[in-house]
Amino acid sequence: MTLWHPDLLVGRPGGSPGLLQNYVGGSFVGGKTFPKLSPVTGETIAEVAEADEATVDAAVSAARQALNGPWGRMSEQERAVVLRRVADELERRFDDLVAAEVGDTGKSVSQARTLDIPRGAANFRAFADIVASASTESFSTSLPDGRRALNYAVRKPVGVVAIIVPWNLPLLLLTWKVAPALACGNSVVVKPSEETPSSATVLAEVMAAAGVPEGVFNLVHGFGPSSAGEFLTRHPGVDAITFTGESATGSTIAKAAADGVKAVSFELGGKNAGLIFADADLDAAVEGSVRSTFTNGGQVCLCTERLYVERSVYDEFCARLAQRATELPYGWPADESTANMPLISSQHREKVLGYYDLARAEGATVLAGGGVPSFDDARDGGWYVQPTVLTGLAADARTATEEIFGPVCHIAPFDTEDEAFALANDSQYGLAATVWTRDVGRAHRAGARLDTGIVWVNTWFLRDLRTPFGGMKASGVGREGGTHSLAFYSELTNVCVNLD
């Protein structure tokens, strides 16, 4: 067995080993520190410099100054060249980023190598291509009095963009926002989660090595209230805010943004539904639901927490999914067979375990899991929980309606297609849904009738980066992806030229 240990965390620029610093105007900057703990063992693996209000102000000022420098004068094609260099440098630092991502989150090395880091590089290449080929509208205008004019739109950066990202997919979600922001000519101030500071710090080094001008990319570490998050979202020098995370935090940020009439883009929480119809390939539906429920410890906004199964296959599906949940192997992050990862923090584990207890109190039957695994090694100091499958809850039970963000799902039966769609839509959230069926007509009806930003049919977590991504209801505001990202990260000016 290959053991995971803190020394595998790398990418600690700007100071002594184990110190992660802020990055402002092209330089690493210190401050009072807080510990970064390993989710695998609970041990301290780094010290992180917390940005105070003066550091955040300096970062915003550096970003503003960069807009007036060479970066602001580059064409879209020139910026696309820089973004491709960033992608190349991400790949050169591949192993460093894998170690940083795994050290912060406890996810498997295999997942980081096949998903998180490759997707980070792909984000920069995708938006380099999108911005280089993006067009704007133009109109030839003829008025009744004989005058003629040409109207065309010019795309301009929004300005200084605050980017706040969560801890579950740190590099993937960070680059998903940084890439289009830079592609459109903005400068950015990034605040990663205090739980996952490492890959963002490596990204600061990547930006410098790729030739991104000083001040275009800035990084501040810290917490939310009375820390870097609040200082950044309330800063008058910030022009737009993009945030991925909890709906409650999004509401708080929206209130701060309203004071300055700042543009906002929010991808928030979800209590996503999966619909399994009797005509589905049941093997594929079971394995797909294993992925959509337990991947990343259930700590993905797109994970499925509510499963609705047509009654004729309900018992079989429940038994098979529960069996698969008990079979998912534990291991150290470096082990190839590892399928279960720890939760991000002791506080989050207590939250998830609290929902496990609440489910029992609300009358749930626990088909699998419901507790904490035991290892008899250093992992007992980490923050693992068991993959859990529940049945028997009332539709309005808290466990069945509130986002848990852990490796857990509740399964309930349905009898008709209309009932299935109604159950799926009966939620304050509207981020994603999965539908398992062989009926092509039903698949298209689901796309039209489910109130979610994305509907997957016979698959999960499969995306084209050019497509719109975002949520409805409490799951978010706006869309990202392809030209939809350009719409947020840029402003259009109409130019009207008199041709007479």
Hey, which residues are catalytic here? 267, 301
Over the chain, what HEC string results? CCCCCHHHCCCCCCCCCCEECEEECCEEECCCEEEEECCCCCCEEEEEECCCHHHHHHHHHHHHHHHCCHHHHCCHHHHHHHHHHHHHHHHHCHHHHHHHHHHHHCCCHHHHHHHHHHHHHHHHHHHHHHHHHCCCCEEEEECCCCCEEEEEEEEEECCEEEEECCCCCHHHHHHHHHHHHHHCCCEEEEECCCCCCHHHHHHHHHHHHCCCCCCCEEECCCCCCCCHHHHHHCCCCCCEEEEECCHHHHHHHHHHHHHCCCEEEEECCCCEEEEECCCCCHHHHHHHHHHHHHHHHHCCCCCEEEEEEEHHHHHHHHHHHHHHHHHCCCCCCCCCCCCCCCCCCHHHHHHHHHHHHHHHHCCCEEEECCCCCCCCCHHHHCCCCCCEEEECCCCCCHHHHCCCCCCEEEEEEECCHHHHHHHHHCCCEECEEEEECCCHHHHHHHHHHCCCCEEEECCCCCCCCCCCECCEECCEECCECHHHHHHHHEEEEEEEEECC
